[in-house]
Amino acid sequence: MSIASSITSSPSGSLADAVGKRTQLSQKEFFQVLTAQMTQQNPLSPMDSQDFLAQLVQLQNLEVTADLSKNFAGMITQNAFTSASALLGKIVSGTAADGTPVTDIVNRVTVDSGKVRLTVGSTAVALENVTEVVDPPSLQPS
């Protein structure tokens, strides 16, 4: 049962009741709830303007939170990419996506669908699957 339909079936329902059913509302769902409330209200007793303003503030907070979440995700990916770039030319041990252990020189770093991947020899390895990093013998101090 969707949030919008639960409010439509009970005109006395509030946004707080709907939010209690789920921990998060998407922007689209919020608009559905707001629209359902406005279409179900009694024209002789319209929604209190304070309630309406509170809901608009909730919508704005939802948008800000979504933007922050997206920005933080981008920053985390960029940070992981920067860290992975420092591994170029180093010998890395890790596990490929199919579970195969891999040890070779990192020759490429890419971001695919928000995940940082190293090309170890000719095999792609997710950054979180790296288990060891060693300087190649030519870079180790004598």
Could you state, in order of their start, the residue ranges of all structural domains in the chain?
3-76, 88-139
Between 37 and 78, where is the model more confident?
78
What is the predicted pLDDT for the residue at 6?
Answer: 41
Between 30 and 99, where is the model more confident?
99
What is the predicted pLDDT for the residue at 12?
Answer: 47
All residues at 6 or more sequence positions from 127 whose CB lies less than 8 Å from its CB, including other chains: 80, 83, 84, 115, 116, 117, 118
Q: Which CATH architecture has domain 88-139?
A: Roll (2.30)
What is the predicted pLDDT for the residue at 19?
Answer: 45
SS (H, E, C) 114-129: CEEEEEECCEEEEHHH
Q: pLDDT digits over 62-101, tens only?
A: 888 888 888 898 899 999 999 999 999 999 999 999 999 9
Measured in degrees and rounded to the nearest 5, phi and psi for residue 130 equal: -80, 130
Question: How far apart, in whole angstroms, are the C-alpha atoms of residue 62 and residue 28?
Answer: 11
